[in-house]
Structure formats: C-alpha cells, structure tokens
Structure 1
Amino acid sequence: MNRQEQKRRTRHAIINAAFNLLSEERSLSSISLREVAREAGIAPTSFYRHFADMDELGLTLVDEGGLALRQLMRQARQRIESGGDVIKVSVTTFLEFVTANANAFRLLLRERSGTSIAFRDAVAREIKHFTLELTDYIETHTQLSEEIAALQADAMVKLVFAAGADVIDMNKLQRQQLADQLIRQLRIIAIGAAAFK
C-alpha cells in the first residue's frame, strides 16, 4: 500500500472513529481528540496530519453525513425512474438512512442549532443542497414553476428532517407508523403544490 492510500485510510478511520463515539448521550463537543485517536488506533499526534483540530474534524463529519444522505437519496430517485412511488421510496430510503446512521443524523440535528456558527452554517449548507436537489427533481418531473417547486421542496425537507429526529429512538412498529403518516403528509404537500400549476 502506498503512502497516499495509507493516509486516506487513516483519515477515514478518524472520521469513522468520531462517528462511532457519538451517541444519544454524547455530542461532538464532549468527545476529545485523544478519544478519537484511541478509537481510530492511532497516536494523538498523528491526528494533526489529517485535521488541524476537532472543529475541522467536526465540519468534515457534517459534510460526510450530508453527502452520504444526498447520495442515498439520488440512488432512491434512480430506483423511482424504473417504476415506484416517488414519495414512498424517498421516505423509506431516508428513514433507513437515519436508522442505520443514527449518530451521523444526530450530529446534523445537534449542530443545526448548536453554539458553533461554523457548524450551523455547514449543516444549513447541507440542507440547502438537499433542498436544491429536490427542487430540481420536482421541477423536472412536474409542470410546476421553479418558485412553487422550491416551496414544495422546502416544506418537504423540513417535515422529513423533523420526522428523522423522532424516528431515531423508535421501535420498528413506531417507525412504520411514522413512515405511513409522513408519506400521507408529503402527498398532501404535493397535491397542494400541484394546485398552483
């Protein structure tokens, strides 16, 4: 393995270690650099070859969490192209992501209203990317204007993220009930937006 590949793997190990240390009880601000290094299996001094400090790592975690979610939703939209209910597939995909990546989603939720302006801005940027992609999708697949598509996307993203906050601690039956309710709510929003054609 060459030096560049080793560096990439170590950086990835640090990111995964930080995600693993996050939990319902522990936020990013309560995790130390030494803990991250220990979890990643590296010396604390090695951390600085990859990140300037814990804040830079935190911003990277926000970017990674947002990117993973956007990529998953893009894949969901590709599945829809081959036949499937857009709202149902999107909700199922999103809730599966939240359930499988609870720590990453908790990070996005916490830092969205956290004390760090840099983290708040980073989360807002990720949500904006998410909303813009959905706006583009709605505009492309309906005859809605850009303005109405943007309003629809904004309402849907806000509703879905709020549901994501609830689903983290639910059991399977509760998650299914929430998914069914969320699908109906999103359909109501879509019907309302369609009235503006």
Structure 2
Amino acid sequence: MTNANRKHRKRIALVGALLALGAPLAHAGPEQDTEQAEKEFARGNLVVSMSLWRKAAGEGYAPAQARLGDILDKAEEDVDAVSWYRKAADQGNAAGEFGLGLMYGKGEGVQRDEAQARKYISLAAGRDYLPAVIVMVDMYKSGTLGTTPDLAESAKWKAKADELRAKEAALAKAKEGDK
C-alpha cells in the first residue's frame, strides 16, 4: 500500500468518525467523556472516541481540545488541528501549547513562524510538559527555531527533563504498588 493510499484511508476513517458525531451518547460531563474517549480509542473504536472528544472539546474542555488537535494532526487535517490546539492553548493547556508550537515550527495548518513556535513550546515547557522540555533541550543544543546554540541552556532543560522523567517513574511505580 502506498503512502498516499494510507493517508487516504486515514482521511476516510476520520470522515466516517466525524459523520457519526451526531450519534447520541450518554453524557456525564467533558472530563468523563474525555476519559471514555481514551478507552474507546484504545479499543480501536474511532467513531465513538471522536464523538466523545468532539463533544467535550466543543464544551470548552481544554484536554479534549488538545487531544482532538493531536488526532486531527495525525490525520493531516492540519487547519482543524491548529484550531483545536489554539483553543486549548488559549486556556493555558500545555499539550495544546506544545501542539500549536509544533504546528508553527513545521508550518502545518499555519504559516511557518519560528518565533511563535518558540513561544508556545516555551510556554508548555514552563508548565513542566515533558515533550516540550525535551524539544527545548534539542532546540538549544542545536540552535533550531531561531535560537543560537547554547549548551548551558540546553543542560538546564536536560536537568529539568531528567527531573520530570524521575517523577513520572516514581508515579508509575506507586501506581504499580496500588494494584
């Protein structure tokens, strides 16, 4: 199967999911809908998960908006992805800020703008969002997105990334102990 065929199939699946959005679903609130959407997505039920994410995102729930941005970005629906990332970012959601920053950095769904990319990625990193912190490490190490290489700044962000990874590992270990 060619790459173009795979992209076409992704888009068809996404369109099918979007058409099914009118399907009535029990509504417990945007946070619960988002949790259920993740479960349905893990089960491979894209139609239900998209419906739940879209509903929660439409109610202004930033984590659902950011997740919907992620899904649309992967489906190469870049303009829509940017729109949802921006809505989440405007509420101070780190995942939304990071996603929007990446879109600006790649010029997908928006005109490429290194200053905007740095701005949004930096905001997310400042909220201790690990993927953004990792990008900050690389950005200052190699001098990308309009920065000049700065190994001291890169090392600072690397230490932050290590700290966040250690916290994540401790949380995962604690969860294992709770089982």
Q: Shorter-chain TM-score category?
A: under 0.3
Question: Is the radius of gyration larger for structure 1 or structure 2?
Answer: 1
Higher relative contact order (CA 8 A, sep 6+): 1
What's the TM-score once normalised by structure 2's chain length?
Answer: 0.25
